[in-house]
Structures are given as structure tokens and as C-alpha cells.
A and B are shown apart, each in its own frame.
Chain A
Amino acid sequence: MAEGPNLARRLVRHRGAVAGLAILSALGLLALGAPWLSPRDPIKTSPRTALQAPGSGYLLGSDQFGRDVASRVLHGARISLVVGLISVSIAVGIGAPIGLVSGYYGSRLDAVLMRVIDVLLAFPGILLALAIVSVLTPGLGNVMIAVGLAAVPTYARLVRASVLSAREQVYVEAARAIGGRDRTILTRYILPNVVAPLIVTATLGLGTAILSAAALSFLGLGSQPPTAEWGRMLAEGRDYLREAWWISTFPGLGIMLTVLAMNLLGDGLRDLLDPRLKV
């Protein structure tokens, strides 16, 4: 990671990564500025102007309660980005240390931790997050915890694999030979090898986390009304598809654009940081 400026230069030349970064920056700015950019209050209802088509009055139309879809989509960007960041932080914060310890110390501890991870991996896709939400009771906060915990195995395995390959390097052996302590070896020599794949996976993981969280909210297990959250908005617009396609179309577009940007950036970072991971 010492190649900081060099990396930045190469990143700028990567078309996909630049596109992803550009979309993300735009979304980030919109999300930050949502309270000031929104034409109207995102949760204020006005039944008299319900189901207005997109146009001069309502830029992206209004929903069945007369709420402004544009304002709700803007505020939804805030929620989705924050939910993604917090979920991935939880996943990395728990998964990375598990993988680090498991890969470095090996033996019994490794065997036990990996069996636990194996069990968690037996719940496919969003099922683990669903099971966790069912225990924690629905809500946006619990969705973040559930999506985060459900992704822990991914990071634990990734970090463990990176540590296992780094541990065998000659410089680690050398560091141990001159009497380096475990702590020093772990943080100084092994951690840097883990960082590159971790950044790539976490960037891609942001997209996945946003998708899962929106899905849980769509199912009614996440954000509760009247929160302007994209997944929830899609669910609310579902019954008005015939009369008002815009209620569910724009939040869906928001989710896709955000996840697309994360994927573009993640793929770009993978190309640059870790060519070995290339899929």
C-alpha cells in the first residue's frame, strides 16, 4: 500500500473505477445535501395532491399519500449509504479479527472458528440475515446488525486465507527468527497483505449490503413507515403500479445506481490492487 500516489494515478485511468467513483461522489453529495436539496418534506402527506405524475409540480411525481417522490428518493440515498457503511463495518469489524486470529494461530482455535463459520455459511444468501432479523425483531437498526452479521463469514474466510499465504512468506519467518512478537508480526508484516483484498471485497460488499438491507425493508422487516427508505418505498408503490409507476421506479433506480457504482469501483480496485483475484 506504499504506492499511494501511483495507485491514485492508475485509478484515474481505470474507466470503470472512475465511473463508479463519479456516481458515488454524486450520490454522496446528494445524500449529504438531501435536507437542503429536497423540494418538500419527505414524510409530510398531502392527500389532495396524491398520485401526481412526474412533471412541473412534482419532479418525480407524488405517492399515494401525496408525498414528494423526489424528496423521498433523496432522503433514501442517505439511509441506504449509511446502512451499507454500518453493515459492512460490522461485518469487517467482527470477521477480520476472527480471520486474523484463526489464520495466524491456526490449530485448535482455527478448527473451532472455521467450523462455526462453516455452519453460518450453510444458510444461503439472505436467509441468515432473515433468521437474525426474526430474532431481533424488525427495524432498520436490526437490519444493519443482521446484514452485517450475515456477512461476517465472508470476511473471516477472506482474511484467514490471506493470512495463511502471508504467514509462509520468508520475511515473516525472518521477523520471527529475530524474535519479533506475535503482535508486531501480525500488525506490521501480515496485516498489509490482508488490506488489499479486504478493501476490494468490502467495496463490493457495500453493494451487496445495500441490496440485502433494501430487500429486508421491502419484505416489511426493515425500516418502518413513514421512513423514506428505498426498499420500503418500492413495497409501498407495488400496489399502485398501474396508476403510478413512478412511486416504485425511482427508488429502484436509486438502489441499482448505488450498487452499480460500488460494483464498478470494486471491480476497478480489484484490477489495480489484486490482479490475482481477477474473476
Chain B
Amino acid sequence: MLIYLARRILAVVPVLFGVTLAVFSMLFLVPGDPVKMMLAEFVTSPDQIAQMRAQLHLDEPLPQQYGRFVANALRGDLGTSIRSRRLVATEIAENVGNTAQLALASMAVAVAIGVPLGLLAALFRNTWLDVGSMVVALLGVSMPSFWLGLLLIFVFSLHLAWFPATGGGDLLHLVLPSLTLGTIASAIIARLTRSSMLEVLGQDYVRTARAKGLAWWGVVVRHALKNALIPVITIFGLQFGNLLAGAVIVETVFSRPGLGRLIVGGILAKDFPLVQGTVLFIAAFYVMINVLVDVAYAFVDPRIRVG
């Protein structure tokens, strides 16, 4: 187990290294002069451009710039936003809570809808319950989150006035965004739960448990579901990443503060340090989450550690 852990964690280092390299090169892949582009809206003198260049260390050789970028990132320094003139790390710190809250709440919604839906579909295979659940899941994977968000705003805030349409802060503001994101993620979880459950239900040990006279529900919950959820756990990592990315869109729909709004605002304002820092943060976080999921998976399923 320890060897597995060590190997898994070591494997992350080159990936993170690559991620920093990719994010670092963003600035150099911009067609034209990034500094002029960033300052396009201001009246600038050549002096100011040179000053900006120096401030971003763009006058140094590339390897040195990259070294500085990594060293700073390791110390938590992601540079300074061009628009707000504040530290990118500060901007992220102020917004990460909102996004994490949204992602976690959405995950809860996704599991609460997805697992029962998939379970029902598997247990009542080929009945209208199965077909119905899978049609719902299919609609879920096909629906644009921003559209679902607008529909929910239309029904639950404009008509019923149950929840606020936009903004962030208290729990009431969290309901519609997490419902939007969670419903869409639940579709994938429902499909996965169904197929995984069907596979487990066909296993010998389930038949044995039934044959020795155990109650059907007992077998389903204690023997089948427990094993069927193992692959569902692995997709959590992936899903969590998708939720973080999906938050980018949903935050815009609901005008909710968070990392997504930070990135989109940054892109529209050509605030490259802000975009780079936030993208780097999310990617690094996502990589870490995946390691955690892998490790959790190895705990749940001993077969993994050997392989």
C-alpha cells in the first residue's frame, strides 16, 4: 500500500511540472505582443510598455522566466492582476470558497439524484422505470447547463419567487446553481450506477446470497450496491473536475462570484496573469483530487494496489 501511495504521488510531479509549463507558455502563444494587448485599452507610452515588460520579467531569457514562474507558484505567488492591481493569489483566495461550495453542493445533488435513479433502472431492468430513468439521464447529458439554469431561474425565481436568481452569499443563493450543475452531473452517475449494478447483480456471490434465502433488499444493499458503487467512486474525481469547470458557466448564468467568473472576466479583460493563475490553480487542484480518489479507490478495492 505504501509503495502504491508513493508511486502514485511521484507520478503527479511530472504532470504538475507539465501543467506549469503549459500555463507559463500561454503568454507566449498569444499572437502579437502580449503586453501591448493587455494594455490596449490604456493610453500607453513606450516607457510604460517597457516598465510593464520589466514588471512581468518579460525582458529576461525564457528559462529564467519559467524558473521564476515555478518558484513563485510554489511559494503561492501567482503574480499580480493587471486590472485590479491585486495579487492573483488574493483574488483566488477570495473566490475559491464560493466555487468549492457550489461544486460540493452540486456533487451532493448529483449523488442524491443519480444513484437512486441508476439503482431503480438496474433493479427494474427493461421496465418502464428503467426506460424512464434512462431517458431522463439522456436528457440530462444533452442539456446545456446554462439553459437549465435559465429555465430554473424562470420558474423558481421569476414566477414562484422561491429563490433569488442571481448573486452569492447565503444558502438560498446556492440552491438553484447547485441544482443546475448537480442535475447535469447526476445523469452520468445514474448511467454508471445502472451499468455497474447490472454487472454486479449477475455475479455468483449475489446469486449465492439469494440462494441461501437472504431477503432481496438485504442482498441489493449489502452485497450488490456496495460493490457496484466502487466504479462510481472513481468517476467522482473526474466529475469533481467537471463540476469545477462547469461552475465557470453556471457562475456566469447566476452572476455568482467564484473562480469561473474570475477566469471569464480575466479573459474578456485580457488580464493574462489572472487567467494563468486561476487556470493553474484549478488544474493543480484537479490533479490532487484525482490522486486522492485513486488512493481512496485503492483503500476500497485491494486489487488495485497490486496492479
Binding site for B on A (CB under 8 A): 115-116, 118-120, 122-127, 130-131, 133-138, 207, 211, 214-215, 218-221, 231, 234-235, 237-238, 241-242, 245, 248-249, 252, 255-256, 259-260, 263-264, 267, 278-279
A241–B145 CB distance below 8 A: no
Q: Which among B142, B145, B241, B279 is the interface contact of A130 at CB below 8 angstroms?
A: B279
Given A130-B263, A218-B146: A125 in contact with B26 (beta carbons within 8 A): no
The chain A residue sitting closest to B284, CB to CB, is A122
Q: A125-B241, A218-B144 are in contact. List 20 more A-B contacts (CB 8 A).
A: A116-B18, A118-B14, A119-B18, A122-B284, A124-B238, A125-B246, A127-B244, A127-B282, A131-B275, A131-B279, A134-B26, A136-B31, A211-B144, A215-B144, A219-B252, A234-B146, A248-B150, A249-B150, A252-B150, A263-B142
* B30 CB–A CB distance under 8 Å: yes
Give 11 CB contacts A-B under 8 Å: A119-B22, A122-B284, A123-B279, A124-B241, A124-B283, A125-B244, A127-B279, A134-B267, A215-B145, A215-B146, A256-B142
Q: Which residues of B sit under 8 angstroms from A214, Cβ to Cβ?
A: 144, 146
Least Cβ–Cβ distance between A260 and chain B, in angstroms: 4
* B201 CB–A CB distance under 8 Å: no
The chain B residue sitting closest to A136, CB to CB, is B31
A124–B286 CB distance below 8 A: yes
Q: Which residues of B sit under 8 angstroms from A131, Cβ to Cβ?
A: 23, 26, 275, 279
A125–B242 CB distance below 8 A: yes
A-B interface contact total, Cβ < 8 Å: 143
B-side interface residues, number (CB < 8 Å): 52
A241–B18 CB distance below 8 A: no
Q: How far is the CA of A138 from the CA of B8 in the complex (A)?
A: 38
Interface string of B261-285 (1 = CB under 8 A from A): 0011011100010010001001110
A215–B249 CB distance below 8 A: yes
Q: How far is the CA of A263 from the CA of B143 in the complex (A)?
A: 11
Q: Please report whether the interface of chain A is mostly helix, strand, loop or mixed according to DSSP.
A: helix
Q: Which of B16-37 contact A (CB under 8 A)?
A: 16, 18-19, 21-23, 26, 29-31
Least Cβ–Cβ distance between A207 and chain B, in angstroms: 7
Q: Which residues of A sit under 8 angstroms from B300, Cβ to Cβ?
A: none
Binding site for A on B (CB under 8 A): 14-16, 18-19, 21-23, 26, 29-31, 138-139, 141-147, 150-151, 153-154, 158, 191-192, 195, 238, 241-242, 244-246, 248-249, 252-253, 263-264, 266-268, 272, 275, 279, 282-284, 286-287
B268–A221 CB distance below 8 A: yes
Q: How far is the CA of A55 from the CA of B279 in the complex (A)?
A: 46
Q: How far is the CA of A279 from the CA of B189 in the complex (A)?
A: 11
B264–A219 CB distance below 8 A: yes
Q: How far is the CA of A124 from the CA of B284 in the complex (A)?
A: 10
Q: Which residues of A sit under 8 angstroms from B272, Cβ to Cβ?
A: 134
Given A215-B144, A218-B252: A264 in contact with B138 (beta carbons within 8 A): yes
Q: Which among A115, A122, A218, A263 is the interface contact of B283 at CB below 8 angstroms?
A: A122
A115–B14 CB distance below 8 A: yes
A218–B249 CB distance below 8 A: yes
B287–A122 CB distance below 8 A: yes
The chain A residue sitting closest to B159, CB to CB, is A242
Q: Which residues of A sit under 8 angstroms from B284, Cβ to Cβ?
A: 122
A256–B246 CB distance below 8 A: no
B283–A252 CB distance below 8 A: no
Q: Which residues of B sit under 8 angstroms from A119, Cβ to Cβ?
A: 15, 18-19, 21-22
Q: Which residues of B sit under 8 angstroms from A245, Cβ to Cβ?
A: 154
A122–B19 CB distance below 8 A: yes
Q: Which residues of A sit under 8 angstroms from B142, Cβ to Cβ?
A: 207, 256, 259-260, 263
A127–B248 CB distance below 8 A: yes
B19–A279 CB distance below 8 A: no
B15–A122 CB distance below 8 A: yes
A221–B267 CB distance below 8 A: yes
A234–B150 CB distance below 8 A: yes
Most buried by A among B145, B147, B244, B267: B147
Least Cβ–Cβ distance between A210 and chain B, in angstroms: 9
Q: How far is the CA of A248 from the CA of B152 in the complex (A)?
A: 13
B252–A234 CB distance below 8 A: no
Q: Which among A137, A138, A241 is the interface contact of B150 at CB below 8 angstroms?
A: A241
Q: Which among B14, B138, B245, B266 is the interface contact of A260 at CB below 8 angstroms?
A: B138
